[in-house]
Structure 1
């Protein structure tokens, strides 16, 4: 099997651990560790990579490959900076990219989304992440990433896939568009603190809540019927336009995958998400359970 072949088109954009084991030595394959953890998780992505990673994997840190001039967390970089960063890791326009994370399914979707919006033609996510790789008896490598020959990656940003603050404000005022927030229900209602100090909890008035934990089980994205059931519970119509959001643009990408799985890809992801919204002194903040739009 060539690395350009997908074992199960219906499971896109995921590949299984067994598929990756069979294709790990294919020349155009690049495995990317995109692990990132919130402070409350008490995990160190860099240390974990040095201790154990998939052989040949390169490290992608969303807090390094970002807009360094923007004070908001891990905002997307310019196309030029993205191309330079991934090219330095040996990733080119023809690479078959497989992204994973150490949690199973948490930050890998964000890295997958970044590659996608910058024009990568062949990028997938390892289903179940590093835990699934270990469970499949995949081989493990220690230490820093192996040196790779620098390559040329041509980055072209799909601006329509990235929602900024003015677009979100317009969407919230438009009853035909749904802004879907992936944070926990308690944070959305303003009953639990945000992980970032000084940031109030609550929600954007007019948004709806779908905690990302309701579409993920044991590190795997749930099946289409379970995702549809979760949408119905929260009054979300997948046939209407959707923009996903969360705390800082990470778990929003999980919801984007969920909408893709049921055949209704979202219009965009709000890159700054709640952190950008709530950082403004004049930001309107809702609390409690909002009425269904």
Structure 2
């Protein structure tokens, strides 16, 4: 067990192994991959998952009315999907993914958005679980309906109008989790039709800079250093962004780990900002 284990943010594989048979524990595999990764998360889940795990489909448990990818779902849809998966009030949730720490943080943030705080990301994800000698299974869990009380926290999400205002006023730190090459506009975006560059005034903290080589998150002191080295003023409220709101949640998790709670996530991220010609963009370094 690690001193860093916190069931509201991040837990290690030994913590999860010790609590695996707790009756109030619920585990999600929230693996999601970019098209160029050529991986099928649902097929991988069926082939091997941590015992008792349910599969969380980020693309399906979203607002399908939006043209943007995997936007946060309406409260009613979230509640109904959680009920169907047997996740409700009083449960401790742990979420992981097949990359180490990539898409799991998105579900952590989504639960936070819905007013649920008893959720942690598995540090290092499924690769670390397997590397540490813990078992996987192909058996799906037994599920019984449970009720979840949801109170959406609008302060944790921002729309394009709010982000445009923050960029203009400079009263927030807008932190972009994409790679430096994408941030600077030197690399093409993975989605067609996207302009290249970044939101004017934003700072670049590539999500991978927050992680160790094994996919675990760096300790809080190192996380703070990464943000400060990128020129982020931690005294200002933060807005995290990325390509489509997935790795922006890794930044949100890291900010929570260092004790910073005045952050929000730009759900549309570059999938939205990069699509509209009337929104300003910047290129090069911040």
Give 5+ residue unaligned stretches, structure 2.
Answer: none
Aligned with 1:280 (options 270, 276, 283): 276
Runs of 4+ with deviation above 2 angstroms: 6-12
Contact 1:244 1:266 in 2 (8 A): no
Structure 2 residue 81 is the aligned partner of structure 1 residue 122: no
Give 3-state SS (helix, strand or coil) of 2:175's partner: strand
Structure 2 residue 38 is the aligned partner of structure 1 residue 51: no
Q: How does 1:134-149 map to 2 (within 5 A)?
A: 134-142=130-138, 145-149=140-144
Structure 2 residue 202 is the aligned partner of structure 1 residue 207: yes
Deviation at 1:10, TM superposition (A): 6.5
Q: How does 1:134-213 map to 2 (within 5 A)?
A: 134-142=130-138, 145-213=140-208
Structure 2 residue 226 is the aligned partner of structure 1 residue 230: yes
Deviation at 1:7, TM superposition (A): 6.9
Structure 2 residue 103 is the aligned partner of structure 1 residue 107: yes
Q: 2:256 and 2:224 mapped to 1: Cα distance?
A: 12
Contact 2:9 2:256 in 1 (8 A): no
Give 3-state SS (helix, strand or coil) of 1:279's partner: coil
Deviation at 1:165, TM superposition (A): 0.9
Q: Deviations over 1:50-86 (max 9, x none)?
A: 1100011000011000001001000001111100011
Aligned with 2:34 (options 21, 35, 38): 38
Q: 2:46 and 2:163 mapped to 1: Cα distance?
A: 39
Deviation at 1:196, TM superposition (A): 0.8
Q: Deviations over 1:115-166 (max 9, x none)?
A: 11102241111111111111222121115x3240111112221011111111
Q: Deviations over 1:254-275 (max 9, x none)?
A: 1111112222134210011111
Q: How has the CA–CA distance of structure 1 residues 91 and 191 changed in structure 2, closer, same or farther, with 3 Å as cutoff?
A: same
Q: Deviations over 1:18-71 (max 9, x none)?
A: 111111111111011111111122211111101100011000011000001001
Question: What is the root-mean-square deviation in Å for CA atoms of aligned residues?
Answer: 1.6
Q: 2:46 and 2:190 mapped to 1: Cα distance?
A: 26
Q: How does 1:9-48 map to 2 (within 5 A)?
A: 11=6, 13-48=9-44
Give 5+ residue unaligned stretches, structure 1.
Answer: 1-5
Using the TM superposition, name which of 261-270 and 182-191 deviates more: 261-270
Deviation at 1:99, TM superposition (A): 0.5
Q: How has the CA–CA distance of structure 1 residues 266 and 107 changed in structure 2, closer, same or farther, with 3 Å as cutoff?
A: farther
TM-score by length of 1: 0.92
Contact 2:5 2:12 in 1 (8 A): no
Deviation at 1:176, TM superposition (A): 2.7
TM-score by length of 2: 0.95
Q: How has the CA–CA distance of structure 1 residues 9 and 16 changed in structure 2, closer, same or farther, with 3 Å as cutoff?
A: closer
